[in-house]
Structure formats: structure tokens, C-alpha cells
Amino acid sequence: MSDGSHSLLPALGAAAVTAAAAPFVRAGLVAIDMLDVPNDRSSHAAPIPRGGGVACALGVATAVAAHPHPAPGRELVGVAALTLVGLADDRRGLPAVARLSAQLAAGALAGSTGAAGIARGAVVVPAAVNVVNFMDGINGISGLTALAWGAHAARVEPDSPSGQAVAGAGLGFLPWNLPRARLFLGDSGSYLLGSLVGTSITRAEPRVAVRLALPLAPYLLDAGVTLARRALAGRDLMAAHREHAYQRLVHDHGWSHVQVAGAHALLVAALGRAARRLPLPAATVVAVGVGGAWAAGPEIVTWARRRRARVNSRSRRPTATS
């Protein structure tokens, strides 16, 4: 996860602390009845404690403290504030306007080096937070994606603790969420990871920011295409649903959570490598193509199955004999 200029200690520390804290966080969540009760749109069948982002936050704090380069204080304040907002939403539910206001404020704080920076942060941070939140719907997808993206970010920006913090927290959380979920990140976790990603992209100079963002193309296009489809159909954009590509691969096509989450993480890792190795225009084309293919994944799987069925049907037809 590093180019060699820094050790892996921050990431390993984040992973160890997250994994060690998770059972205590889980016990506390069960004690206060902070459970995600399944409904007909859920991807789980039994109540699961939500709020695992608290364990990840302890891991992130460990990585930041262990990293030789300190993170800007204003970014840490924004990330911490959004994590608490997510935890409050996990506990009681917050109005959408309150959540969005907090995201905008944290984004503006992260980009507070001028009007352009404030505007960029106010767009990028809420977008990152909500995309991570939308895409956290099956076991392992957020943890594995955090690991893949964090490893990439740590190579692109070795002087920032964000990459190692995200990768370590994702790795430490995985044993509690994959293959069987015993703990969910909840909004506290998606807000934590999303704000770390968003502030990293906001802070970076433009070309670096693009390289940080490119591996997230499958995330972004899956969320964006799904929201566009729902908007065109006149559906409530904030209502729970199972229409994202990753959800449809599980529920409509029978893929396991491990298969879908693993495939998504492999794409993120591959796009990270492309973003580091290829010229930026070429890397952008690759990322858009791969992200688009992921967003169209259920349709591609349907087409492939129908084509295979037609081929098998033709091969079984009796041939005419003379």
C-alpha cells in the first residue's frame, strides 16, 4: 500500500484496532437495541447491529496518530462531525435536510482555502458520502472497496494518512461483515469512509484528485445510473430499494455477496493501477468504460445467459439423417 517512503504501520494499526473494537461496539449496539431490522427490500434476513462505523473511527484515529504526516485539523473536524451525524442517524433517524446541511458544511470546511475550494468541497464531500451510503447494501462491499481504494490512495498520496486509514479500517471491519454479517457499518461508517474519500479528493491538486477519483467509477456510475432511472420513472429517490446493479446481481441473478463484493473490489483495484500507470486521458476512458460495464452488469449477465441458452438449445436439436 505504500511506495516505500512510509511503513505500513498506520494501516496495520487501523486494521488491528478496528477488528479488536468491533465486538465491544457490537455488544453496545445490541444493548441499546440499535439494530437494522430487515424488510422486503433488505439483503439480510435477521436483525443486525448497525453502527460499526464507531469501530472503524477508532481505527482511523489510530492510523492518523501513527502516520508521520499529520492530517489537516479542519479535515479531521469535518470527518469526525459527519461520523457523529451518521451515528445519530443510525440511532434515531435525522431529517434529510439536517444530514445534507452537515455534509455541505464539512465539505466547505475541507476546501476552505478559497471560494473555489469551498465550492469544490461542498460538492465532492456530500457526493462521496452519499455514494458510499447508497452502495453499502451487501456484505463486504464497503470494506473491500475501502481496502482497494485506500491502498491506491496511499500510493498516490503517501504523505497523507487518509489512504492507510481507509484501507486499514476496511480490512479490520471485514471479519465482522464477510461472508456472514455480524455487524453493519451503518451511516456512521459510510459517512466516515465517504468523508475521508471526499476530503482527500477535495484537498488534492486537480490531476491527483482525478487519479484518486477514477477507481471509484463503478461506485459512481452504479449510483448515478440507478438514481437517474428512478428519477425518470418518477420514484422517490430517498426511498429504500434494491435497484443498484450490485443488488440486482445478488437478488435477480443469484450471485453471492462474496462474489459481487469481490468483483467490485477487484475492479476498483485494477482501476487504481490504471490510474497510477496510464496517462490521465487513457485512464479516464478505461475507468468510464469499466464503470459503465459494471452499472450495466445485470443486463450483460442476462444477455449472456440468454445467448448461452440459445446456443445450448441449438446444440441439442436432432440433426437430419439421410
Give the whole-angstrom CA distance, residue 232 versus residue 228. 6
Give the whole-angstrom CA distance, residue 98 versus residue 58. 25
Other CB atoms within 10 Å distance of the CB of residue 165: 35
3-state SS class at 165: helix
H or E element that contains 155:
helix 141-156
Give the whole-angstrom CA distance, residue 32 versus residue 12. 30
Whether the bond between 158 and the residue before it is cis, its omega within 30 degrees of 0, is no
H or E element that contains 14:
helix 9-31
Q: How far separated are the first and last CA of the chain, in Å rounded?
A: 67
3-state SS class at 210: helix
**Residues ≥6 apart with Cβ < 8 Å to 48:** 35, 36, 181, 182, 183, 184
78 closest CA partner among 12, 124, 114: 124
**Is 187 known as a binding-site position?**
yes
- Give the residue numbers of the binding site: 133, 187
Residues tagged in the binding site annotation for Mg(2+): 133, 187
